[in-house]
Homo-oligomer: A and B are copies of this chain.
Amino acid sequence: MKPVITAFEASPDKGRGLARDMQVRWALEEVGRAYDVRLVSFAQMKEPAHKAIHPFGQIPTLEEDGLALFESGAIVLHIAESAPGLLPADPAARARAINWMFAAQTTVQAPIVEREGAVLTEADKPYHAERLPMLEQRIRVRLDDLSARLGDADWLDGEFSAGDLMMVTVLRRLGSSGMLNDYANLTAYIARAEVRPAWTRAFADQLAVFTASQKG
């Protein structure tokens, strides 16, 4: 039975692959699993039927054989455990890959999402210009450390893993900020991910959903 995921009917990112169904699509493509997509509107996400699956009324979700999951990190981990390709077999290497998943979702993502929120909802406030450099400095602290750790390696810890998948999707959120321009190795890291066939397919599929939504 194919898993069913949910995604935005019309993603606010306009198909740039920043919505979190991208992480799930990419993971499913990496392990070569077919899936179905159920599109939901913003209104539908807040309805009881969707909140029964996702208590916080968001996307993505994954349903499969009676199991329902609703956090992209947990969904990607579940997919990674279901088939080879995203987690090393060695237990220590596997634990380190999961470590990078959490690092992406918490330590690195938190200041990025905070800046996003400010740009999205507070850009017209008189204090925004004063706060923005502070928010960007918090991101830069993380990028400095991440860049130092990555060095000239292709991926964060040996082979490409679910940790890289999460980290790349989190870093891509900075695309329009220009902040990545100061980090040549992180830019190259993202570029390496974006030419993976699984990434290309996942990106095309989510973009097709947005494109179709504009023709309605």
A: residues with CB less than 8 A from B are 51, 55-58, 65-67, 69-75, 77-78, 92, 95-96, 98-99, 101-103, 105-107, 109-110, 113-114, 117, 121-122, 125-127, 130-131, 134, 142, 145-146, 148-149
**CB-defined contacts of A74 to chain B, threshold 8 Å:** 95, 98-99, 101-103
A122 and B69 alpha carbons, distance in the complex (Å): 37
The answer on a CB contact under 8 Å between A98 and B110 is no
Tell me, in angstroms, the Cα distance from A55 to B99 when the chains sit together.
12
Give every chain B residue within 8 A of A102 (Cβ-Cβ): 71-74, 77, 105
Question: Is the pair B107, A106 in contact by a Cβ cutoff of 8 Å?
Answer: no
**How far apart are the CA atoms of A69 and B77 in the complex, in Å?**
17
Number of copies: 2
**Cross-chain contact of A103 among B56, B57, B101, B110 (Cβ < 8 A):** B56
B99 touches A56 (CB 8 A): no
Pairs across A and B, CB under 8 Å, 26 listed:
A51-B145, A55-B103, A55-B145, A55-B148, A56-B107, A56-B142, A56-B145, A65-B92, A66-B92, A69-B95, A69-B99, A70-B99, A70-B103, A71-B99, A72-B102, A73-B105, A74-B95, A74-B103, A75-B99, A77-B98, A78-B98, A105-B105, A105-B106, A106-B106, A110-B113, A126-B127
Whether the Cβ atoms of A57 and B95 lie closer than 8 Å is no
C-alpha spacing A75/B102, complex, angstroms: 10
A56 to B142, CA, bound (A): 7
